[in-house]
């Protein structure tokens, strides 16, 4: 990989590589903010006293807002300019980060996290799409995408680590306030180093499709969360039906538009469908595992935030390294075979974590996180490459928006589905409060109750992690058997050629 980067650098202007360094700043921040609260939640809970439902919304609303807006923002960037929307989104993200840092209560924090999601939705598709403009030479573009993906995937893995270090020295709001100086660097150097790019041939954005996409995704996600936490009731069933109907109308509308918001023809390419499925399931499993194990390390084993964060370093390193090296493995084995290998490794790694218990098994956690991290790193870099190479340069923002939506939706669903599954098992284990943290606080030194609650939490964590591993294994089988038609073979050939 080093020689590849050297050859690419020789053929590509230094300005492009400096521009890439600037683009990595928002990518790192957006991905970090998916996971930075995992370790901060126990501390945040003590200060803001959010309800169980508010805790989930604090974690979830950011990812769900990004998921609902990524496709729209990717298309909008193609039309009004990718640099313009990148800098505008960075400004919104920075203002929202300050609001989150000084939020006086849970409701304000949820609102600030939602605004951060709006800003974040502009940053990911515009930054990756700009790479296709900045690096017209194929090998350099592949190297740039690998680096971009490594920072995206690595940021999600390193978020809890940075959060732990900050919480060890400062108050909980510091995990948000750290965003502002980084974004100021982007706003200062972005106009100087990043080229503007807009596709003049594209028509106006279909606002009806925008409304339908958002009106479909958010109600369905809300309904899933409510069903898992509270059970079925008529109002929420109605909300779910509204979401499903909105998505059905949205999909039907896309088939009749000359320039659809969501290009459904991409899914006829077997490799593109495998990539989107892998990113969704991969992030679902990673997010659920990261949240549950972060809670386990603090509330079950008694470690503080910094100690828990240090145990996440091996996985963060493995995700970063394998994101960089995933392209080389894909070139040697083929893109499809590498998807199968990566998903299998991720599944095996999660199953290894079943060795974790109330009284021990930290070695199993570290080993399992390293193995699964290798799989996740390879998956994420392949997804980015397939997305960028699937369409002409003028449509890169919209294609990247689809792939990044799958990442964000997977992240949100991982917390909602796997987190809620673990909570259901936990609550069925005894007369506990809604969360393990609340149970320990209200136990009043009752060691028997605390031990029982910790055991129930571990049981729930095992069930949720197993579910994630099973989903990864199923996706690996799908990747192995899916037929790659001519379009998919063309994608694979392009992905292999650029290396």
> CA dist 460 to 106, 304, 419, 425, 467, Å?
26, 22, 9, 5, 11
The pLDDT assigned to 496 comes to: 46
**Cβ-contact 12, 137 below 8 angstroms:** yes
Pinpoint the alpha helices (H) of 12-51: 14-35, 37-48
Contact yes or no for 252/269 (Cβ under 8 A): no
What pLDDT does 315 receive? 86
Match 């971009």 to its residue by tokens.
Answer: 148
Give me the DSSP letters along 292-355: HHHHIIIIIT---HHHHHHTTHHHHHHHHHHHHHHHHHHHHH-HHHHHHHHHHHHHHHHHHGGG
CB-based contact 19:193 (threshold 8 Å): yes
Element (H, E) at 162: helix 138-169
- Is 90:183 a contact under the CB 8 Å cutoff? yes
Distance from chain centroid for Cα 44: 22
pLDDT at 411: 73
For the chain, list residues with pLDDT below 70.
Answer: 1-12, 34-36, 38-39, 138, 153-161, 197-203, 224-232, 305, 388-401, 412, 484-499
Q: Which residues of 276-312 are buried (b: 16+ CB within 10 A; e: fewer)?
A: bbbbbbbbbbbbbbbbbbbbbbbbbbebebbebbebb
Rounded Cα distance between 171 and 214, Å, is: 34
Q: Which residues of 354-385 are buried (b: 16+ CB within 10 A; e: fewer)?
A: bebeeeebeebbbebbbbbbbbbbbbbbbbbb
**Token pair of 364 as six digits:** 């199993």
* Domain 16-205+261-497 -> CATH class: mainly alpha
Q: How far apart are CA 71 and CA 262, in angstroms?
A: 7
pLDDT at position 469: 96
Cα distances from 64 to residues 120, 128, 380, 430, in angstroms, run: 11, 20, 19, 32
Length of the chain (residues): 499
Q: b/e string for 463-494 if b means 16 or more Cβ within 10 A? A: bbbbbbbebbbebbebbeebebeebbeebbeb
The string of DSSP codes covering 476-491 is HHHHHH----HHHHHH
Tokens of 163: 């959060």
Separation between Cα atoms, residue 399 and residue 275, nearest integer Å: 12
Residue 285 has a pLDDT of 92
Q: Which residue has the tokens 């193609």?
A: 78
Q: Are 307 and 359 in contact (CB under 8 A)?
A: no
Does residue 59 sit in helix, strand or coil? Answer: helix
Give the per-residue pLDDT at 471: 96
What was the pLDDT predicted at 58? 82
Q: Where in the chain is the domain with CATH 1.20.1250.20?
A: 16-205+261-497
């Amino acid at each position: 990989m080093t020689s590849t980067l050297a050859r690419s650098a020789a053929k590509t202007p230094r300005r492009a590589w400096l521009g890439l360094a600037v683009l990595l700043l928002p990518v790192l921040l957006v991905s970090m903010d998916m996971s930075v609260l995992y370790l901060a939640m126990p501390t945040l809970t003590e200060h803001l006293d959010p309800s169980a439902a508010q805790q989930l919304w604090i974690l979830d609303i950011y990812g769900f807002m990004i998921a609902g807006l990524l496709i729209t923002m990717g298309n909008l960037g193609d039309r009004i300019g990718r640099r313009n929307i990148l800098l505008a989104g960075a400004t919104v993200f920075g203002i929202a980060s300050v609001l989150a840092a000084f939020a006086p209560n849970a409701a304000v924090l949820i609102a600030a996290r939602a605004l951060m999601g709006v800003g974040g939705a502009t940053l990911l598709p515009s930054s990756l799409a700009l790479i296709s403009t900045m690096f017209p030479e194929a090998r350099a573009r592949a190297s740039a995408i690998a680096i971009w993906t490594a920072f995206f995937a690595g940021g999600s893995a390193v978020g809890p680590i940075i959060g732990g270090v900050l919480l060890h020295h400062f108050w909980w709001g510091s995990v948000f306030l750290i965003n502002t100086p980084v974004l100021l660097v982007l706003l200062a150097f972005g106009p100087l180093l990043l080229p503007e790019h807009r596709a003049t041939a594209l028509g106006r954005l279909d606002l009806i499709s925008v409304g339908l996409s958002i009106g479909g995704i958010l109600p369905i996600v809300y309904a899933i969360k409510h069903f898992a936490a509270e059970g079925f009731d008529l109002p929420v069933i109605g909300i779910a039906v509204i979401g499903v109907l909105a998505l059905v109308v949205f999909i039907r509308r896309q088939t009749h538009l000359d320039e659809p918001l969501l290009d459904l023809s991409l899914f006829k390419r077997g490799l593109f469908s495998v990539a989107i499925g892998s990113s969704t399931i991969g992030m679902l499993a990673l997010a659920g595992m990261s949240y549950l194990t972060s809670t386990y390390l603090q509330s079950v084993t008694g470690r503080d935030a910094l100690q828990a964060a240090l145990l996440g370093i091996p996985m963060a390193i493995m995700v970063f390294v394998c994101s960089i090296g995933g392209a080389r493995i894909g070139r040697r084995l083929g893109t499809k075979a590498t998807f199968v290998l990566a998903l299998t490794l991720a599944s095996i790694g999660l199953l290894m974590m079943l060795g974790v218990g109330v009284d021990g098994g930290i070695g199993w956690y570290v080993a399992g996180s390293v193995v699964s991290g290798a799989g996740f790193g390879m998956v994420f870099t392949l997804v980015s490459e397939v997305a960028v190479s699937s369409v002409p340069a003028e449509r890169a923002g919209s294609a990247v928006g689809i792939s990044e939506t799958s990442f964000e939706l997977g992240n949100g669903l991982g917390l909602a589905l796997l987190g809620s599954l673990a909570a259901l098992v936990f609550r069925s284990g005894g007369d506990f409060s809604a969360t393990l943290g609340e149970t320990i606080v209200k136990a009043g030194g009752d060691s028997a109750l605390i031990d029982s609650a910790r055991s129930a939490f571990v049981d729930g964590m095992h069930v949720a992690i197993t579910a994630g591993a099973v989903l990864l294994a199923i996706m690996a089988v799908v990747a192995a058997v899916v037929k790659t038609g001519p379009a998919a073979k063309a994608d694979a050939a392009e992905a292999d050629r650029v290396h």
